[in-house]
């Protein structure tokens, strides 16, 4: 704000009338910033004709997809989704769309399905509308290939800020109208307020803010190159030169004379001069030129937020400099861009790719692979240090052995040592137990049904839990003689006793809806998989094991995946999802998903004992929990 000094108003900026600073005579007082107006042809000329501009545009998208991503979940699901990615050439399509977003201020991926009806293209594309191999192609286009219709201005709409429709002109088909769910945008430099500049949907090209820096580098290097032609100039003084050039004959004689002199100089290193003639050589000093070019390149690299070592491929300067710090900072910037800019776009696309690949929504979760890769020696050293620390903690007895083992498995999965350890452990353990039990009890694959949703085989491997839901009793359906004959000895006492469960479910494994169940081996021991785990009786086509009740292969149930287990755990542990408590002491929670479904969880005494998904939300009933069509009271 202006303030008073010596009775005159001044501004909060340095001014000096004697030095003509910040007054009408100061040139700086007339400076102003403006937005460079780069037309499409200028942008394309920069990209196609200037190496620095092209590298700045291309490097960031390339590094964002260079190491791509890794999936956590069932191996069969991972193979299917990766197969779809390769078939659609997803990495290249994303990289091209990002390049056009940075270059033009707007790029997009058009999601193509097997549906070609123009009327259908105007409707929202939802995962349930995509069948197996339903995604046919992904086309990367620029903003200039898409005409934007009216912008959605309703702040309550999920498509707020996006066009209500896109127009694409095809010579063979005419004009096609696409619903915004069929187009995924990629931007350049976002505008502070798009509505103020009339750009609406799109953004600025990254070259807009970098134009001055790129121009300075081009001017400096071009000027330095032109000086090479004048790096050495010979100067000869000739008396009465004007008279020699006064007519054609003398001019020809003078030209022949110096041509002969130059020839003699080249052949014999001898320069012949006449009376009064002098010769001198002038050289241009290039001593400060390399530093000036280097400075402008560093300014351009800083403006582009790309280290010089990456932009120019030069070695870091300075004593003992490695460039690791700059590289790490750059990789951190790329990782931030991946999470903030790229992940939302990929997750929006993945919902459709999952449906096309036949993978249940939420069955897999991805992380971006780190760009910074340690060498084998460094990785081995860190792994050894972690193992030693774990050994020390285990020796202190801070946690039970089972808990410590779970922590180690989680650490090995999170740091990327064994990214799919949980899925492979579940498959391997389930396969081993399933084969062992099948050999001892062939009838396990043909269970009788005590009541809806509860499996039970004649040998008593599975039974209903008590109504309280905290214990299970081994059903003694055979006589003592039959059991002794089968097992080769008297039945263990544990089989006729109630099995109490007080520890949390290992790995958040889930119990049955009518009570937790415990797998008891013929020898009297448990399977070791924890309360509520149901080893698979059958192998699905994708070889995925499932829990008997919560994750059975029926409508209304979620596949047994790490992502689904985590989802149920998150819903049950956050108060905002709680619906209420029923008359049996159960706590019911639910969450509305983006696709309109309702995932619900039933908790008793701090344990998840049931969970599932409803296609449409259902109201909570204080007597029975969720409505009867979805959760009958057992």
Range name among 16-30, 120-134, 239-253, 436-450 with the lowest pLDDT average: 436-450
Report yes or no on 595 lying in a domain: yes
- Name the token pair of 592: 């509305």
Q: What is the mean pLDDT of the chain?
A: 74
Residue of higher predicted confidence among 266 and 296: 296
| Residue 584 confidence class, pLDDT cut points 50, 70, 90 | confident
Answer whether 178's CB lies under 8 Å from 184's CB.
no
For residue 415, what are the CA distances in angstroms to 364, 394, 408, 420? 17, 20, 11, 11
Express each pLDDT in 364-382 by its tens digit: 999 999 988 777 888 888 8
> What range defines the domain where residue 17 resides?
1-32
Res. 500: pLDDT tops 50: no
Considering only residues 526 and 157, tell me which one the structure prediction assigns the higher pLDDT. 157
Give mean pLDDT, residues 508-533: 33
Is 105 part of any domain?
A: no
Residue 158 lies inside a defined structural domain of this protein: no
Q: What is the pLDDT of residue 461?
A: 32
* CA 98/CA 59 separation, integer angstroms: 11
Backbone region of residue 555 per phi and psi (left: phi > 0; alpha: psi in -120 to 50; beta: other values): beta
Query: Is 487 a member of any domain?
Result: yes
Instruction: Indicate whether 607 pLDDT > 90.
Output: no
- Confirm whether 347 is domain-assigned: no
Instruction: Judge whether residue 474 has pLDDT over 70.
Output: no
Q: 382-398: per-residue pLDDT in tens?
A: 888 988 998 898 888 88
Per-residue confidence (pLDDT) for residue 61, from 0 to 100: 96
Residue 514 within any structural domain of the chain: yes
The vertex-39 CA angle with 34 and 43, nearest 5°, equals 100
Characterize 185-198 residue by residue with b for buried, 16 or more Cβ atoms within 10 angstroms of its Cβ, and e for exposed. Answer: bbbbbebeeeeeee
- How confident is the model over 98-126, as a mean pLDDT? 93
Q: What is the per-residue pLDDT for 400?
A: 83
Which residue from 496, 499, 521 is spatially nearest to 511, judged by alpha carbons?
499
**If you average pLDDT over residues 210-222, what whole number do you get?**
91
The average pLDDT across 226-245 equals 81
Q: Read off the pLDDT of each residue in 561-577 and give the average, rounded to a whole number.
A: 81
Would residue 293 count as lying in a domain?
no
Distance CA 552, CA 549 (A): 5
**Does 379 or 5 have the greater pLDDT score?**
379
More confident residue, 324 or 337: 337
Q: Tell which wins on pLDDT, 313 or 534.
A: 313
pLDDT at 265: 75
Outline where 488-604 has alpha helix (H).
562-573
Q: Which spans in 441-580 are helix H?
A: 480-487, 562-573
Asked whether residue 444 is assigned to any structural domain, the reply reads yes
- Split into its structural domains, the chain has a count of 3
At 241 the pLDDT is 80
Residue 417 pLDDT level (bands cut at 50, 70, 90): confident
pLDDT for 553: 59
């Amino acid at each position: 704000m202006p303030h008073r000094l010596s009775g005159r108003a001044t501004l909060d900026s340095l001014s000096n009338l004697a030095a003509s600073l910040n007054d009408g005579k100061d040139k700086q007082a007339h400076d102003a910033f403006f937005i460079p107006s780069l037309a499409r042809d200028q942008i394309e000329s920069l990209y196609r004709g200037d190496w620095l501009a092209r590298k700045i545009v291309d490097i960031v998208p390339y590094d964002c997809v260079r190491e791509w991503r890794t999936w956590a979940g069932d191996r069969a699901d991972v193979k299917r989704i990766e197969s779809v990615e390769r078939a659609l050439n997803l990495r290249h399509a994303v990289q091209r769309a990002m390049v056009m977003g940075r270059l033009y201020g707007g790029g997009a991926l058009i999601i193509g399905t097997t549906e070609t009806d123009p009327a259908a293209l105007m409707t929202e594309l939802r995962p349930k509308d995509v069948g197996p191999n339903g995604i046919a192609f992904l086309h990367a286009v620029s903003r200039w290939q898409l005409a934007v219709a009216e912008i959605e201005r309703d702040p309550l709409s999920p498509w707020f800020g996006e066009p209500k429709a896109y127009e694409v002109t095809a010579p063979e088909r005419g004009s096609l109208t696409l619903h915004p769910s069929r187009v995924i945008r990629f931007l350049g430099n976002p505008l502070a307020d798009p509505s103020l500049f009339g750009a609406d949907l799109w953004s600025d090209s990254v070259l807009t803010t970098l134009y001055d820096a790129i121009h300075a580098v081009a001017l400096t290097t071009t000027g330095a190159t032109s000086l090479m032609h004048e790096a050495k100039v010979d100067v000869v003084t000739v008396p009465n030169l004007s008279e020699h050039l006064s007519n054609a004959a003398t001019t020809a004689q003078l030209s022949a004379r110096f041509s002969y002199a130059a020839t003699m100089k080249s052949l014999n290193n001898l320069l012949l001069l006449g009376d009064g003639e002098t010769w001198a050589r002038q050289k241009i000093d290039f001593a400060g030129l390399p530093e000036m070019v280097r400075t402008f390149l560093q300014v351009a690299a800083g403006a582009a937020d790309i280290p010089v070592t990456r932009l120019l491929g030069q070695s870091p300067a300075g004593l003992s400099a490695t460039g690791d710090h700059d590289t790490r900072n750059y990789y951190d910037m790329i990782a931030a861009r991946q999470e903030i800019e790229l992940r939302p776009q990929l997750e929006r696309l993945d919902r459709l790719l999952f449906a096309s690949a036949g993978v249940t929504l939420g069955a897999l979760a991805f992380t971006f692979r780190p760009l910074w890769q340690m060498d084998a020696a460094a990785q081995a050293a860190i792994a050894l240090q972690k193992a030693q620390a774990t050994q020390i903690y285990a020796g202190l007895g801070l946690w039970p052995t089972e808990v410590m083992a779970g922590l180690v498995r989680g650490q090995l999965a999170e740091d990327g040592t064994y990214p799919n350890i949980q899925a492979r452990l579940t498959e391997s353990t389930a396969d081993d137990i399933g084969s062992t039990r099948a050999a001892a009890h062939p009838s396990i694959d043909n269970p009788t049904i005590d009541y809806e949703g509860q499996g039970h085989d004649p040998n008593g491997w599975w039974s209903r839990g008590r109504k309280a839901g905290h214990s299970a009793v081994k059903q003694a359906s055979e006589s003592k003689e039959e059991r002794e004959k089968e097992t080769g000895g008297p039945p263990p006492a544990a089989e006729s006793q109630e099995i109490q469960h007080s520890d949390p479910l290992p790995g958040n494994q889930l119990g049955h809806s009518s009570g937790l169940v415990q797998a008891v081996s013929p020898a009297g021991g448990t399977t070791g998989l924890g309360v509520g785990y149901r080893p698979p009786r059958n192998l699905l086509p994708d070889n995925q094991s499932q829990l008997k009740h919560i994750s059975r292969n029926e409508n209304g149930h979620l596949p047994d995946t790490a992502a689904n287990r985590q989802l149920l755990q998150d819903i049950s542990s956050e108060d905002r999802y709680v619906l209420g408590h029923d008359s049996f002491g159960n706590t019911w929670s639910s969450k509305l998903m983006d696709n309109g479904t309702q995932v619900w969880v039933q908790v008793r005494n701090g344990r998840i004992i049931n969970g599932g998904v409803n296609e449409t939300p259902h109201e909570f009933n204080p007597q029975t929990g969720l409505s009867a069509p979805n959760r009958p009271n057992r």
